[in-house]
Amino acid sequence: MPLYLIPSPIGNLGDMTYRAVEALRQADVVLCEDTRTSSVLLRHYQIQKPLTPYHAHNEHKVLEHLADQIEAGRTFALITDAGTPGISDPGFLLVRECARRGLHVECLPGATAFVPALVQSGLAASRFAFEGFLPLKKGRQTMLKSLAEEPRTIILYESPHRLQKTLNELAQYMGADRQAAVCRELTKKFEETRRDNLAALATHYTTHPPKGEIVIVIDGAPSKKKKQITDDLDDEEE
């Protein structure tokens, strides 16, 4: 029996797919980050299934036990509080263990925050680098220096209480004029996307403290992007 990885809505409960709802109904057990959050989703779709906590604090401890049960024939569905399992959320370890054992894993398509943020940012979406959350302390400056030279569009997740600090740091390392977009509360009632340079965005959120989940989309390093376009044109001429 398989392990289903099921994307859950990032805000609007109507964003579940028919296939995702059916997979939840077929599962023997639903693994979730927070049983309270997932209970709301299951009640909305009138699904009654046992909920088992699976999160960053226990995934190492329960990994072998869960894989044993899947190997024994039980069907598990893994969901997170919001979005696709494994994308800045638990899931990778269990998928890797199931793959190691030759067990069937099926990931359903569906909601994830960075895709709508990227598309509606107005920045180039053909090539991008998704980095999730920046390191809080160790390695943070090294990462910022590296991203400052990244030619592709950059996507970051951030919490509301760290947004203004992060925007200031991005402006420091990437330049105040680097274009970016801050997408907040995607799919929810007060969804907002602000597009401006990094310095202006940092100033705005100094006086307008944000709420909700946040995605930052940043234009790639200009010089390297220009060089890539030139190289592509040279290749076409050859």
**Do residue 178 and residue 83 come from a single domain?**
no
The reported pTM is 0.88
**Do residue 82 and residue 183 come from a single domain?**
no
Is residue 237 situated within a structural domain?
no
State the CATH number of the domain containing residue 40: 3.40.1010.10
DSSP letters along 185-201, please?
STTSTT-EEEEEEHHHH
**Do residue 78 and residue 182 come from a single domain?**
no
Burial class from Cβ neighbours inside 10 Å (0-12, 13-18, 19+) for residue 233 reads exposed
**Do residue 133 and residue 215 come from a single domain?**
yes
**Do residue 201 and residue 103 come from a single domain?**
no
Whether 233 shows a pLDDT value over 80: the answer reads no
Whether 230 shows a pLDDT value over 60: the answer reads no
- Split at pLDDT 50, 70, 90, the class of 143 is very high
**Do residue 19 and residue 80 come from a single domain?**
yes
Is residue 130 situated within a structural domain?
yes
State the CATH number of the domain containing residue 120: 3.30.950.10
- Split at pLDDT 50, 70, 90, the class of 224 is low
**Do residue 118 and residue 23 come from a single domain?**
no
State residue 222's pLDDT score: 86
Whether 231 shows a pLDDT value over 70: the answer reads no
Domain boundary among 107, 141, 169: 107
Task: State the residue range of the domain holding 45.
Answer: 3-107
**Do residue 90 and residue 147 come from a single domain?**
no
Is residue 150 situated within a structural domain?
yes
- Give the residue-averaged pLDDT of 193-211: 96
Q: Is the CB of residue 221 less than 8 Å from the CB of residue 186?
A: no
**Do residue 76 and residue 94 come from a single domain?**
yes
- Give the residue-averaged pLDDT of 40-44: 97
CA distances from 133 to 89, 137, 221 (A): 11, 12, 20
Q: Where are the alpha helices (DSSP H) in the chain?
A: 18-26, 35-44, 59-71, 92-101, 114-120, 140-148, 163-174, 198-207, 222-237
Is residue 232 situated within a structural domain?
no
- Give the residue-averaged pLDDT of 218-227: 75
Is residue 214 situated within a structural domain?
yes
Is residue 235 situated within a structural domain?
no
**Do residue 25 and residue 94 come from a single domain?**
yes
Domains held by the chain: number: 2
Is residue 231 situated within a structural domain?
no
Is residue 62 situated within a structural domain?
yes
Q: What percent of the chain has pLDDT over 70?
A: 93
Whether 234 shows a pLDDT value over 90: the answer reads no
